[in-house]
A and B are shown apart, each in its own frame.
Chain A
Amino acid sequence: MKNSVFLGALTAAGLTAGVAGAATLDDVKERGTLNCGVTTGLVGFAAPDANGEWGGFDVGVCRAVAAAVLGDPTAVEFVPTTGKTRFTALASGEIDMLARNTTWTFSRDVDLKFEFVGVNYYDGQGFMVPKALGVSSATELDGATVCIQTGTTTELNLADYFRNNNMEYTPVPIETNAEAQQQYLAGACDVYTTDASGLAATRAAFESPGDHVVLPEIISKEPLGPLVRHGDNDWGDIVRWTLNALIAAEEYGITSANIDEMSASGNPEVKRILGSEGDLGAMLGLDAEWAKRAIGAGGNYGELFAKNIGESTPIGLSRGLNAQWTEGGLLYAPPFR
């Protein structure tokens, strides 16, 4: 594009298109920034604040990877993607990794030629009802009217669940989450169903969140995780083990506050993670303190969770399935050795 200064200048700062070479790590280091695909906005997971700074749970993963690879958690170029553009952006090399509450499914992993490096949030479809309805379990919902987004997997899950439990329901089809909020509050339906994290965020936006309850039943599996392209396993390893380091850090009690003490005095596993023992970093093609920086960027998994979507935030999600395996959850980082 250098044949004309006009087009050349217009395009110089544009998006990098075209499939990047195999060595994503080298590209990222040369560029000096990590191109991380995020959502255009999802409460608690990724959204820019009033100053234009991105924040959120998915954003935390991007920043951790940037800190591990480049040593700077702010060296991230956030590329907002919609549900329709996210996979092309990753496949074409426009972004190095995608951390956009994307459900890990067989066809995405195999057919679309992506590699899910792990799960950073176990979501699932849930139900929200007004407290006044006096329902405490989804099995009591026989005959209910249900607000449901059309054309989504939630619609199919709902039909399956009610049929399995021999219950009847009347669907109220709606198009967007915003419409769902209005319909549900206006009493057009008894129940609103979508992903549990979405329910929590929706409920948090209500005028009186206390009047509504999210029922305990979760009727589908939605493991959300970051993903990379097929074909560069070294890069996939870096993202996978950065995520694992965040999870392991919580398990071993490494926080952004005590990270320096832990690297000096922790147990051998902690020392291996933080790079004061062993050479795990070199195996990844990084320096020894990669995980230390990743954890220091925004804290361990638990800190990220508490800060962005946890019970002290307006969204108020409980850990549930996303607790450590030692506390009855599903988070289980493989050993660092």
Chain B
Amino acid sequence: MADTHAHSVRFVRETMLPQQEPPAAERGAVKWMRQNLFSNLRNSIFTLIAIYCVYWLVTSLYPWFANGIWDAPSIRACREILEGDVGGCFAVLTERWNQLLFGFQYPSELYWRPTLAFLLLFIAIAPVLFRKVFPAQMLIFTALYPFIAYYLIWGGSILVPVMALLGFVAGYMVYARLVTQSFAMGFFGGIIAAFVVWWLTGLVGESTFLALEPVASRNMGGFMLNLMLGTVCVSLSIPFGIALALGRQSSMPIIKWICVIFIEFVRGVPLITLLFVASVVLAYFLPPGANFDLFVRVVIMITMFASAYIAEVIRGALAALPKGQYEAADSLGLDYPQAMRLIILPQALKISIPGIVNVAVGLFKDTTLVSIISMFDLVGMIRGPILASTEWNGVYWELLGFAALLFFVVCFGISKYSQWLEKELATDHR
């Protein structure tokens, strides 16, 4: 056969041609655009409209940023410099950045303290958030972090956080000893022991041992206050929420009804009402002369609010678990705390991650509501002192845009983390 061909055909290819690239219309960006942006007439029209919108946004926003004034003493000076051009007056941010971040009363020479506490926060939550990456020993620092942060932010004698820590340690030791007999005994024994230690150390009285300059909580404000309220309330409301959810499922009627009433009452009341109660009504109820820090009052109220919501999220997760899981735990001979800790809650919490994160993000943004009870959080600082100063009255977009940016960074971070965590914990085969 080969011979016949050799005589009848002038040319026979003996090697393979090298692969050629696909035609220009079928590769790279062009292909992607054809597939995704211009696959048919309707899509093409929408694409063009979208491109026009983006173009319009960019061309109208760009000069606002590019002409932005970063150094001026007041909005009028900004306008003089701009001479009628479009441009943002970002000078308000450069002049008042410290007030936006720390509030206007935190002593400026002490800014390093909350900043350090903020940086340490990352070290403290890293082993909690990424258990596999960081060694478990770092959890010791996490446990110490609340006391370190309190010492740094509020200042005062180091004895105060140390004594508080001692109370917790004593409580835990009593709990560990008694819990072998009964969970309830250990639980209440631990609480009593902690309070006994606090009472005893309270007798020591004021001290200036290793004291940092104290800062009252009414002097705190700005984004720092939002972060403090958000962190404290989220981390407190998760354990409370779990306890409430379990209590609501309990077969003991008193506990069950206490939890049901608490959850339904708190969920039925707007957060703003609770904040008013914290700031206004409690002042009437407390005995004359009683000092009860407004920050603590607000933390209690927001924690109550968030834990009621988290309890419902977790209750949903508990209900979603097959009954077989509960029965399996029983059949292994585990008692109630063991069954919950080892079998039920790990599965339930995994299901409830999106819900909890949802509550956490909402809670963090709700911390701006404290501005209406005259605490100067980020929004309170903007609406109150900064917009009310004769220099900056009338600067809205720059300030509120800055606030939105700060909140977006934090909330987007939380949301990305929760998506990662869901994938990390996914053990089913969907």
Tell me the A residues contacting B by CB distance below 8 Å: 1-20, 39-44, 46-50, 52, 79-82, 84-85, 88-89, 92-94, 178, 181-182, 201, 204-207, 313-315
A68–B344 Cα gap in the complex (Å)? 67
User: Closest chain B residue to A82 by CB distance?
Assistant: B374
Q: C-beta contact mask, B150-165 vs A, less than 8 Å → 1, else 0?
A: 0000101001100110
Tell me which of A9, A11, A313 contacts B390 (CB under 8 A): A313
Would A40 and B384 count as touching, CB distance under 8 A? yes
User: Closest chain B residue to A313 by CB distance?
Assistant: B390
User: Closest chain B residue to A315 by CB distance?
Assistant: B390
Would B292 and A1 count as touching, CB distance under 8 A? yes
B148 within 8 A of A: no
Residues of B contacting A315 in the complex (Cβ-Cβ under 8 angstroms) = 390
Residues of A contacting B290 in the complex (Cβ-Cβ under 8 angstroms) = 1, 17-18
Tell me which of A7, A49, A178 contacts B396 (CB under 8 A): A178
Tell me which of A5, A8, A46, A82 contacts B388 (CB under 8 A): A46
A43–B386 Cα gap in the complex (Å)? 9
Q: Determine how close the nearest CB of chain A comes to the CB of B376; give it in whole angstroms.
A: 7
Residues of B contacting A9 in the complex (Cβ-Cβ under 8 angstroms) = 154, 156, 160
A205–B164 Cα gap in the complex (Å)? 50
A178–B393 Cα gap in the complex (Å)? 10
Known: A5-B198, A82-B373, A85-B373. A13 touches B385 (CB 8 A): no
Q: C-beta contact mask, B275-316 vs A, less than 8 Å → 1, else 0?
A: 010011011101111111111100000000000000000000
Q: Determine how close the nearest CB of chain A comes to the CB of B154; give it in whole angstroms.
A: 8
B75 within 8 A of A: yes
User: Closest chain B residue to A314 by CB distance?
Assistant: B390
Residues of B contacting A6 in the complex (Cβ-Cβ under 8 angstroms) = 160, 163-164, 167, 198
Residues of A contacting B396 in the complex (Cβ-Cβ under 8 angstroms) = 178, 182
Would A14 and B291 count as touching, CB distance under 8 A? yes
Residues of A contacting B295 in the complex (Cβ-Cβ under 8 angstroms) = 10, 14
B394 within 8 A of A: yes
Would B393 and A204 count as touching, CB distance under 8 A? yes
Would B195 and A4 count as touching, CB distance under 8 A? yes
Would B286 and A18 count as touching, CB distance under 8 A? yes
Interface size on B, residues (CB 8 A): 59
Tell me which of B95, B204, B218 contacts A50 (CB under 8 A): B95
Tell me which of B160, B167, B216, B280 contacts A14 (CB under 8 A): B216
What are 5 inter-chain pairs, A to B, with CB distance below 8 A?
A: A7-B296, A9-B160, A13-B218, A48-B104, A80-B384
Would A18 and B385 count as touching, CB distance under 8 A? no
A137–B229 Cα gap in the complex (Å)? 51
B105 within 8 A of A: yes
Q: Determine how close the nearest CB of chain B comes to the CB of A20; give it in whole angstroms.
A: 7
A205–B396 Cα gap in the complex (Å)? 11
Q: With a 10 A CB-CB cut-off, give which of B204, B295, B393 has the most chain A CB atoms.
A: B393
Tell me which of B154, B294, B390 contacts A15 (CB under 8 A): B294
Would A82 and B292 count as touching, CB distance under 8 A? no
Known: A1-B292, A15-B293. A40 touches B374 (CB 8 A): yes
Q: Determine how close the nearest CB of chain B comes to the CB of A176; give it in whole angstroms.
A: 9
Q: Determine how close the nearest CB of chain B comes to the CB of A77; give it in whole angstroms.
A: 9
User: Closest chain A residue to B107 by CB distance?
Assistant: A52
Residues of A contacting B282 in the complex (Cβ-Cβ under 8 angstroms) = 17
Residues of A contacting B387 in the complex (Cβ-Cβ under 8 angstroms) = 41, 178
A206–B245 Cα gap in the complex (Å)? 54
Given A5-B198, A14-B218, 20 more pairs with CB closer than 8 A: A1-B291, A8-B202, A14-B294, A17-B291, A18-B289, A40-B371, A40-B380, A40-B383, A52-B105, A79-B374, A80-B384, A82-B372, A82-B373, A85-B373, A88-B284, A89-B283, A92-B283, A181-B394, A314-B76, A315-B390
B350 within 8 A of A: no
Would A84 and B372 count as touching, CB distance under 8 A? yes
A43–B75 Cα gap in the complex (Å)? 14
Q: C-beta contact mask, B164-202 vs A, less than 8 Å → 1, else 0?
A: 100100000000000000000000000000010011011
Residues of A contacting B167 in the complex (Cβ-Cβ under 8 angstroms) = 4, 6
A315–B295 Cα gap in the complex (Å)? 35
User: Closest chain A residue to B216 by CB distance?
Assistant: A13
B418 within 8 A of A: no
Tell me which of B276, B288, B291, B393 contacts A12 (CB under 8 A): B291
Known: A14-B294, A18-B290, A52-B105. A4 touches B202 (CB 8 A): yes
Residues of A contacting B376 in the complex (Cβ-Cβ under 8 angstroms) = 40, 80
Q: Determine how close the nearest CB of chain B comes to the CB of A312; give it in whole angstroms.
A: 12
A88–B282 Cα gap in the complex (Å)? 11
Residues of B contacting A8 in the complex (Cβ-Cβ under 8 angstroms) = 202
Q: Determine how close the nearest CB of chain A comes to the CB of B325; give it in whole angstroms.
A: 39
Would A201 and B393 count as touching, CB distance under 8 A? yes
A314–B76 Cα gap in the complex (Å)? 9
Q: Determine how close the nearest CB of chain A comes to the CB of B304; give it in whole angstroms.
A: 17
8 interchain residue pairs of minimum CB distance: A41-B388, A205-B394, A18-B288, A41-B384, A14-B293, A40-B384, A13-B216, A4-B198
Residues of A contacting B358 in the complex (Cβ-Cβ under 8 angstroms) = none
Would A80 and B374 count as touching, CB distance under 8 A? yes
